[in-house]
Amino acid sequence: LIEEPSGNHFGMTQNAGMGWNPAELLRKQFIILSTVGGVKAEDGSPIALGLHTGHFELRDMVVAAAEEFKELKSIPFAAFCSDPCDGRTQGTTGMLDSLPYRNDAAQVFRRIARSLPTVRGVLGIASCDKGLPAMMMALAGLPDQPGVIVPGGTTLKPNIGEDAAEIQSIGARFAQGEVTLEYAQDVGCRSCASPGGGCQFLGTAGTSQVVAEALGLAITHSALAPSGTPAWFDIARRSARALVAMERKGVTSQDILVDAAFENAMAVHAACGGSTNLLIHVPAIAHAAGRRRMTVSDWSRVNSHVPRLVDVLPNGPVGHPTTQLYAAGGVPEVMLHLRKMGLIDTTLLTSTGQTLGENLDWWEDSERRHDVRQYLRDVDGIDPDDVIMSPDRAKAKGLTSTVTFPMGNITPEGSVIKSTAIDPAVVDDDGVYRKTGPARVFRSERAAMGAIKSRDEDHKIKAGDIMVVTCGGPLGTGMEEVYQLTAALKYLSYGKQVALITDARFSGVSTGACIGHVGPEALAGGPIGRVRDGDVIEIVVDRKNLSGSVNLVGVDGVVKGADWGTTELESRPEPDDLAPHPQLPDDTRLWAALQAASGGTWGGCVFDVDTIVEVIDAGRKALGR
């Protein structure tokens, strides 16, 4: 009573008021942060829906972790900040808040944790595209606290029907007469075969779970567990135990999130064929941790020497669901291969309290490894070594490295393509994708989607077209995802013959000849905004050597070369129809301005406070304010 502030006293009063045993009020306190959404009845039926399956069952994980904390004679607290669904918001104004939400949620989670000043550690439970990166940024931004991430797992793939990626193209296929209404009605209700977990493919949600484990923030073999299963509950309990042990040993997130941990994460991302959105999220986590933000050169370097080893949706060649990647051994199995190749640092400390090398030694000889891999053989009839492959087997099956960063007169600051996911049918025998064709220019995703769905021969997208979709960067839409475009091109019968170039982002499940993150964006004066209908564009992507180019080379069917294109783009005036989305929220406009001052897209779309203050001060002086 003499030495503690009144807030600590009143906190104990509150704890007793909520029903905690007064005799236990001085026990160590841990907080569980989660993106829980929706309300379930005791029988599992929905009382109120969440925004997506990824957070609908997370309350069960929170309960399991809290019970474990109680068993360990600690006091658990729980607080929530739910998250949106990028699938639900595709093509809608909801997408204008998607990426900005990540920064906001990370701040909220950090503020909540700091608002419990007696807390001794933070457990973060999240599953999906923005909630999990936000949670990792939050824990990274609490460097003096022990922190453990609990990946929220994945939903099951239906035995009959379409997965959660393919179903998102159903509107375009129906519009073009490729499926019936009855078919759409049937498969649309089957794609999510369980009520919890992130999508069944290695999109942004799944890749974020993989990265959390690769960083050492999540315990061994915790990413991508099937939601609601005994293994999934066990992960929550073991993570709580790991956090208590970290606190006892004095280990914090700062001890885990060292620069080399981010190198490991990039290597695992490349080996798995991860989402291009992690090129934004991983630098943001590094920035929150006070570490060096990786650059395009870093990603290119890693992808040049780390082969893709994993066959998982959406990349193929077979395209196993993420639950089968988990059963094949998940992240630790991938890292065993990378260790043999000398591509990861195994001396780093992890949230298990052991080094990565010690974790992998345990995994290699563990019953858990034997059991899950045997389950995959016995129940699914799949050889786990066909899901997570040795380098030689991967090469023999035609797997190529994950991403390429094409440059050119349309993309002078860079762009990205998941080159490993280009349809092999349109790749030449030397491993190079080459396409020269007419530009079809659109100032919005909606206009582009209208052309894909159109049956008007003069308006519809045709095989051979190169779609150029602008005003989709941070200043235009908050850097929206345009997955409904890439999904349509993947699943329409002629889609592989169409290419897409945009300053927007792609969903992690996007595939095909789709080039995004084009910089500078159109609204920042980028040359992509000066491309016109009928311009001749040349795209070259070397999937083996990971090089590429995107150039204006001609006009009206006449090829004049890239040098001509550079001069032509520089001489063209800014079009008067370039504009942000008319419903862009002020919240997102502010986010776009702050991240632009902090390094922009390639810097992770973060808020670099020192730089922002410097820019504001310089602006005030220049304006005389």
Of the candidates 401, 399, 385, the one whose C-alpha atom is nearest the C-alpha of residue 317 is 399
User: What phi and psi, each to the nearest 5 degrees, are found at residue 120?
Assistant: -115, 0
Q: What is the mean pLDDT of residues 513-541?
A: 97
Residue 589 in tokens:
């406009």
Q: Which tens digits make up the pLDDT trace of 248-279?
A: 999 999 999 999 999 999 999 999 999 999 99
Q: Which tens digits make up the pLDDT trace of 381-403?
A: 999 999 999 999 999 999 999 89
Q: Report the pLDDT value the prediction gives residue 508, as an integer from 0 to 100.
A: 61
Q: Which tens digits make up the pLDDT trace of 178-226?
A: 999 999 999 999 999 999 999 999 999 999 999 999 999 999 999 999 9
- The rounded distance, in Å, linking the Cα atoms of 170 and 184 is 7
Torsion of CA 21, 22, 26, 29, to 10 degrees: 40
Q: What is the mean pLDDT of residues 443-450?
A: 97
Question: Annotated catalytic sites, by residue?
Answer: 507
What mean pLDDT value characterizes the chain?
97
- Tokens 């809608």, located at residue: 92
Residue 318 in tokens:
């077979």
Domain locations in the chain as residue ranges = 27-157+193-391, 158-192, 414-571, 586-623
SS3 content of the chain, % helix, strand, coil (to 5): 45, 15, 40
- The rounded distance, in Å, linking the Cα atoms of 218 and 238 is 10
Of the candidates 263, 288, 48, the one whose C-alpha atom is nearest the C-alpha of residue 147 is 288
Its CATH architecture, for the domain 414-571, is: 3-Layer(bba) Sandwich (3.50)
User: What phi and psi, each to the nearest 5 degrees, are found at residue 204?
Assistant: -70, -40
CA geometry: angle 73, 79, 82, nearest 5 deg = 140
pTM: 0.96
What radius of gyration do the chain's Cα atoms show?
24
